[in-house]
Chain A
Amino acid sequence: MTRGQIVLSDLVFGIVIFLILMTTFIVEWTRLNGRLEDKNTFDELELLTFQIADLLIKQPGTPSDWETSPPTVDVLGLAETDRILSPAKVLALQNLSYDTTRTLLNVERFELYILLQQHNSAIIEIGSVPTKRAVHIRRYVTYANKQATLDIALSEQ
């Protein structure tokens, strides 16, 4: 071989290694973008779950006596006062259909699950336990003068 001459096999070998590295980088980059979009959806779920929990346990709803005439409800709320739930409102919520509840809470795009429990027995259960990735939060409340827990979960459809 003459001095200073390029060997083609070295060049091909170099290009192959470079292409492998670039492909790995592109695949990883695309995967990261996908994860970022997933995280955005999850953040939205999280935010809505917290807002729904606050709405349900911290205010009586609009109108404040909506339980006497459930079709007139504008904003759902179960509280008599902050974190003290009204049994009449809880009963009225149970009588609303699952789709109506989702529509009122503006979460038609998601699956909603609400469970109010006292001493490990369910007082109301709306929807079914999410099977897909979900945001699940538990709030401690007072129901009929006793401590109870309100579980709220939102998941993708």
Chain B
Amino acid sequence: MKKGQISIEFLFGIGIIFFIFLALWTFTLVTQDRSLRLDTSLRIKTECTKLANLITYTFLTNTAHTASSAYPFTIVNTSRVIIMDTVSCSLPLNALTGGNFSQGTLHLHSIASYVEVTQ
């Protein structure tokens, strides 16, 4: 072997390492994307759950409450579901008003065993 010449085995080794790192990089990108989406959906789910709890609490205690939502959401009173972005959470009661709500302050009132949500 001449001085300064690299062997075919060395090139082969470098090639393998290159492909391994390429695969790892792809895996990292996919995992990172999945983790970020999971993190966002967990945050939205927590927000949705808080709202569902507050609606149930308002119904149970016949009281009025003010809350704020960090995300826009829809209450589908026919299927008793709160849809917040890609997340949904269900409610065990169907005595509430439905509608689309934007992020911000919310007012919850219990009127004659019926929960009304307004903004």
Contacts and interface: CB of A to CB of B under 8 A. Distances in A.
On chain A, which size bracket covers the interface? 20 to 34
B20 A74 contact: no
| Interface residues of B, dominant DSSP | helix
A36 interface: yes
Interface string B48-91: 01001100100110000000000000000000100000000111
A75 B59 contact: yes
A22 B13 contact: no
Contact of A58 (B38, B60, B94): B60
Given A11-B13, A33-B38, A64-B113, A74 B95 contact: yes
Contact of A59 (B16, B60, B91, B114): B60
Given A8-B13, A15-B16, A55 B56 contact: yes
A62 B113 contact: yes
A51 B13 contact: no
A140 interface: no
Contact of A106 (B16, B17, B24, B92): B92
Contacts of B24: 22
Contacts of A6: 10, 13
B91 A106 contact: yes
Nearest to B24: A22
B92 A48 contact: yes
**What class of interface size applies to chain B in its complex with A?**
20 to 34
Interface string A109-146: 00000000000000000000000000000000000000
A74 B90 CA distance: 16
Contacts of A98: none
A38 interface: no
A90 interface: no
7 contacts: A8-B10, A12-B13, A48-B92, A74-B95, A75-B93, A75-B113, A106-B93
Given A51-B52, A51-B92, 18 more contacts: A8-B10, A11-B13, A18-B20, A19-B20, A33-B38, A44-B89, A48-B90, A55-B60, A55-B93, A59-B60, A59-B113, A74-B93, A74-B94, A75-B59, A104-B94, A106-B90, A106-B94, A107-B90
Interface of A: 6, 8, 11-12, 15, 18-19, 22, 26, 29, 33, 36, 40, 43-44, 47-48, 51-52, 54-55, 58-59, 62-64, 74-75, 104-107
In the A-B complex, list the 4 residue pairs whose CB atoms are closest, starting with the nearest: A62-B113, A75-B93, A106-B80, A105-B92
